[in-house]
Amino acid sequence: MDLKDKNIILCVSGGIAAYKAAGLASFLKKQGANVYAVMTKNALEFIKPLTFKTVTGNKVTTNMFDESDFVPHISLADLADLIIVAPATANIIAKAAHGIADDMVSTLLLSSNAKKIIVPSMNSKMYLNPITQKNIKLLKENDYFIMEPDIGLLACGYEGIGKFPDIEKIYGFLLQILSGKKSYFTGKKILITLGGTIEDIDPVRYISNRSSGKMGFNLAEEFIARGGNVTLLIGNISELLLSSFKSKYPKTKIINVRSSNDLYDKVIGFENDFDIYCMVAAVADYMPDYKADKIKNKNGIELKLSATKDILASLKKRKNALYIGFAAETENLTKNAKEKLKNKNLDFIIANIVKGEKNAIGNDNAEVVILNKYNEEEFRIDYNDKKFIAQNIIDYIEKLGKFI
């Protein structure tokens, strides 16, 4: 599911996190949504409507009695696929819980049948105050969806619950509410390796492969959209893809790796830390002996390559974690993938064709075959762009969640 052509009303109330709502508006717009910002009078103390107008491209509503629009709270209420109040102050939560409609945001909330999300953000004492908690309970009983705030250092200097969540997290929550499905991946800690490794020959030369990281980034986006908490271990990839991913998901943890040995150490170092291991990186099978000085020989050189460590096979398999591997094959796709699934003791293996016209490596499209250890079924996803492939891979794994 994506946000293409969805009408999202973003209500901004007067909390210190109001400025972060501009980042959220811009993010939702980039995901294809039409975003309409509505601000309380007090929100105007923290951020100007011009910011929202610029990032959303739409008029910002701040005044219920604005005569340039025909009954603005009703037209917005009818237009909305979803209303999200972010940040939601203790005040707007109290007003919404008790049906008070004395400004544009509270009136809109009362007059719309659209799904409504509240993202509380405030000082811990305000949030934990039994009155606020009762108001939140009341909203839940009246079909509002409430997002739990983060715990951390708050703008007011206090440490505790009440922090505005990361935009990626809000997005994951929002997609779940819109799609009506709670994903198996929600709240799961997911480690994804992607890109190719670099095996150094000497200080100036190396061996790598054509991996671009496209499949890994598409999987990461899809996991995030389903509420997963993603960490990326990134090898040699397209810089353009990396910068566009970072600008979209600035809070996603990214760790750079270079060689297969480096990746091995990092993955094994994380063997107890994640719920899902999704190993997409194109790890070199062979590496040269590194020479500290630049190799010079006019008559050419012979490179002796030795086998690298098998990361997936070495990774400890915990009972309650899920292990997903990728295989790049030029022939006997299913047969080779079956062997790898067994030898490396994985839950799922996704085999890509890396030959001829459908060569997946470094390209935008792929054709894959998925095998799992729970039944003998083979699942093929025909040649398509990697976004589509990633969505279908994750749908497939999600459907098999009952075995996990």
- Shortest distance in whole angstroms from residue 132 CB to ligand FMN: 9
Q: Which is nearer to ligand FMN, 8 or 122 (CB)?
A: 122
Q: Which is nearer to ligand FMN, 86 or 242 (CB)?
A: 86
Q: Which is nearer to ligand FMN, 65 or 70 (CB)?
A: 65
156, 303, 307, 313: the catalytic one is: 156
Q: Which is nearer to ligand FMN, 107 or 236 (CB)?
A: 107
Q: Which is nearer to ligand FMN, 31 or 121 (CB)?
A: 121
- Shortest distance in whole angstroms from residue 246 CB to ligand FMN: 27
Residue (of 382, 389, 392) closest to 358 by Cα position:
382
- Shortest distance in whole angstroms from residue 397 CB to ligand FMN: 38
Sign of torsion over alpha carbons 127, 131, 137, 143: negative
Residues 326, 341: Cα–Cα separation, whole Å: 9
- Shortest distance in whole angstroms from residue 63 CB to ligand FMN: 13
Task: Let me know: does 116 contact 178? Beta carbons within 8 Å.
Answer: no
- Shortest distance in whole angstroms from residue 103 CB to ligand FMN: 6
Residue 386 phi/psi, 5° resolution?
Answer: -70, -25
Q: Which is nearer to ligand FMN, 121 or 308 (CB)?
A: 121
Binding site for ligand FMN (CB under 6 A): 13-17, 40, 42-43, 89-92, 121-122, 126
- Shortest distance in whole angstroms from residue 374 CB to ligand FMN: 47
- Shortest distance in whole angstroms from residue 158 CB to ligand FMN: 11
Task: Let me know: does 153 contact 195? Beta carbons within 8 Å.
Answer: no
Q: Which two tokens stand for residue 262?
A: 């480096």
Residues 260, 272: Cα–Cα separation, whole Å: 20
Q: Which residues pair with 353 in a beta bridge?
A: 329
Q: What is the C-alpha radius of gyration for the chain, rounded to an integer number of angstroms? A: 25
Looking up tokens 């909305």, which residue turns up? 80
- Shortest distance in whole angstroms from residue 347 CB to ligand FMN: 42
Residue 278 falls in the annotated catalytic set: no
Q: Which residues of 312-340 are buried (b: 16+ CB within 10 A; e: fewer)?
A: beebeeeeebbbbbbbbbeeebeebbbeb
Tally the C-alpha atoms within 13 A of residue 168's C-alpha that lie toward its C-beta.
Answer: 22
Q: Which is nearer to ligand FMN, 146 or 404 (CB)?
A: 146
Q: Which is nearer to ligand FMN, 15 or 228 (CB)?
A: 15
Positions marked catalytic: 156
